[in-house]
Amino acid sequence: MDQTTYTRIDTDGRCAEFITWDPAGRYPVELKWLPVPAALVPFVGSQYRAEDEQILPPSLDSLRDQVKALATERRWQVETGGITLADGTRILTATDDQARIDTALSNMERYAIKSVDFKSAGGFVTLSYEQLKAIGAAVVAHVQGCFSAEMKHHAAIDALTDVLTIASYDCSAGWPGQAEPASAEPAA
């Protein structure tokens, strides 16, 4: 069901209140209500204003910053959401997981440890240095891919010049690891 959001415009032209029902006939006529374009609903707040019967952000840059924040949040979700190796092993990629892989690799190299027990998202496996290094490389590639995708989204958002086009920008596409597994040597 399509639900329109309306905003009451105060005497300074600012968005002062938001409702999701048609205000027609429910409020005194001197109160001005305008529909909020659907693309702006996730962003609109009291800092937005009405001008020529249109709802506008404080500036295009402020709206761009709001949309970029969505791209950054999406990057964090994808970055820390894990990867699936070619053999189907699921590897967690949160910051702590990344640090554990780095620490294990450093310790294996420093102390000539031949193998380590490692916990993947699916359970425990024993890995050689080369296997863990391949997993680490896949995680690094995934994380780097996430930051590269976020950078591309930010650049694309910066290039937009229209309020509704900026507000309608799709931050959900173009992220690594969503459709195909990351490549790495199979975990033993």
DSSP calls for 91-147: E--SHHHHHHHHHHHHHHHHTT--EEEEEETTEEEEEEHHHHHHHHHHHHHHHHHHH
Burial class (CB in 10 A: 0-12, 13-18, 19+), 123: exposed
User: What is the predicted pLDDT for the residue at 136?
Assistant: 98
User: Which amino acid would we find at residue 186?
Assistant: P
Mean model confidence pLDDT for the chain: 93
Q: How confident is the model over 71-96, as pLDDT tens digits?
A: 999 999 999 999 999 999 999 999 99
131 within 8 A of 120, measured Cβ to Cβ:
no
- pLDDT at 51 > cutoff 60: yes
Q: How confident is the model over 116-167, as pLDDT tens digits?
A: 999 988 999 999 999 999 999 999 999 999 999 999 999 999 999 999 999 9
User: What is the predicted pLDDT for the residue at 184?
Assistant: 44
Pull the structure tokens for residue 27: 């409020």
* CA–CA dist 135, 184 (Å, integer): 6
